[in-house]
Amino acid sequence: MKPMEIKKGIYWVGVVDWNVRSFHGHTYNTSRGTTYNAYLIVDDKIALVDTVYGPFANELINRIKEIIPPEKIDYVISNHVETDHSGAMPALMKLCPKARVFGTAKCKEGLYRNYYENWDFQTVKTGDTLKLGKRTLTFVEAPMIHWPDSMFTYCREEELLLSNDAFGQHYASNFRFDDEVEVCGLMDEAKKYYANILWPLGALISKKIEDVLKMGIPIKMVAPAHGIIWRKDPGKIIKSYLGWAKNETKPKVVIVYETMWKSTEKMARLIMEGLTDSGIEAKLYDIADADRTLVIGEMLDAKGFLIGSSTHDNDMLPNIAGFLELLKGLRPKSRFAAAFGSYGWAGGAAASIEKILKEAGAEIKMPSISCKFVPDSSEEIKCYEFGKDFAKMLQ
Q: Report the catalytic residues.
A: 24, 80, 82, 84, 146, 165, 193, 226
Q: How many residues does the chain have?
A: 395
| Minimum distance from residue 156 beta carbon to ligand FEO (Å) | 25
Kindly tell me which of 26 and 214 has the beta carbon lying closer to ligand FEO: 26
Kindly tell me which of 32 and 85 has the beta carbon lying closer to ligand FEO: 85
The residue within the footprint of ligand FEO, chosen from 17, 43, 82, 178 (CB under 6 A), is 82
Locate all alpha helices (DSSP H) within 149-302, ordered by sequence. 183-193, 202-214, 234-245, 263-277, 292-299
**Backbone phi and psi for residue 7, each to the nearest 5 degrees, phi listed first:** -145, 160
Determine, following the binding rule CB under 6 A, whether residue 50 of this chain makes contact with ligand FEO.
no
Within 13 Å, how many C-alpha atoms sit on residue 145's CB side?
24
The residue within the footprint of ligand FEO, chosen from 80, 108, 266, 382 (CB under 6 A), is 80
Q: By CB under 6 A, which span of 78-86, 171-179, 273-281, 311-319 interacts with ligand FEO? A: 78-86
Cβ distance 259 to 271 under 8 Å?
Answer: no
- Site for ligand FEO (CB under 6 A): how many residues? 9
Q: Helix 292-299 vs helix 318-330: angle between axes, to the nearest 10 degrees?
A: 50
- Dist CA 269 CA 257 (whole Å): 10
Determine, following the binding rule CB under 6 A, whether residue 106 of this chain makes contact with ligand FEO.
no
- Dist CA 320 CA 312 (whole Å): 12
Strands of 129-131's sheet, edge to edge? 129-131, 136-141, 151-155, 160-164, 221-224
The residue within the footprint of ligand FEO, chosen from 59, 84, 265, 298 (CB under 6 A), is 84
- Rg of the chain over all Cα atoms, to the nearest angstrom: 24
Determine, following the binding rule CB under 6 A, whether residue 85 of this chain makes contact with ligand FEO.
yes
Q: By CB under 6 A, which span of 81-89, 202-210, 317-325, 387-395 interacts with ligand FEO? A: 81-89
Determine, following the binding rule CB under 6 A, whether residue 192 of this chain makes contact with ligand FEO.
no
Cβ distance 114 to 83 under 8 Å?
Answer: yes
Q: Looking at this protein, which amino acid is placed at residue 196?
A: N
Kindly tell me which of 80 and 292 has the beta carbon lying closer to ligand FEO: 80
Q: Which x/- pattern, by CB under 6 A, does the window 213-232 give for ligand FEO?
A: ------------xx------
- Dist CA 152 CA 234 (whole Å): 15
Q: What is the DSSP string of 270-287?
A: HHHHHHHHTT-EEEEEET
**Reduced to 3 states, what is the DSSP secondary structure of residue 153?**
strand
**Reduced to 3 states, what is the DSSP secondary structure of residue 196?**
helix
Residues 165-184 that bind ligand FEO (CB under 6 A): 165
| Minimum distance from residue 23 beta carbon to ligand FEO (Å) | 8
Determine, following the binding rule CB under 6 A, whether residue 146 of this chain makes contact with ligand FEO.
yes
Q: By CB under 6 A, which span of 42-50, 82-90, 103-111, 120-128 interacts with ligand FEO? A: 82-90
Tell me the residue nearest to ligand FEO as measured from the CB.
82
Q: Please list the residues that pair with 293 across neighbouring strands.
A: none
| Minimum distance from residue 170 beta carbon to ligand FEO (Å) | 9
Determine, following the binding rule CB under 6 A, whether residue 108 of this chain makes contact with ligand FEO.
no
Give the residues lining the site for ligand FEO (CB under 6 A).
Answer: 80, 82, 84-85, 146-147, 165, 225-226
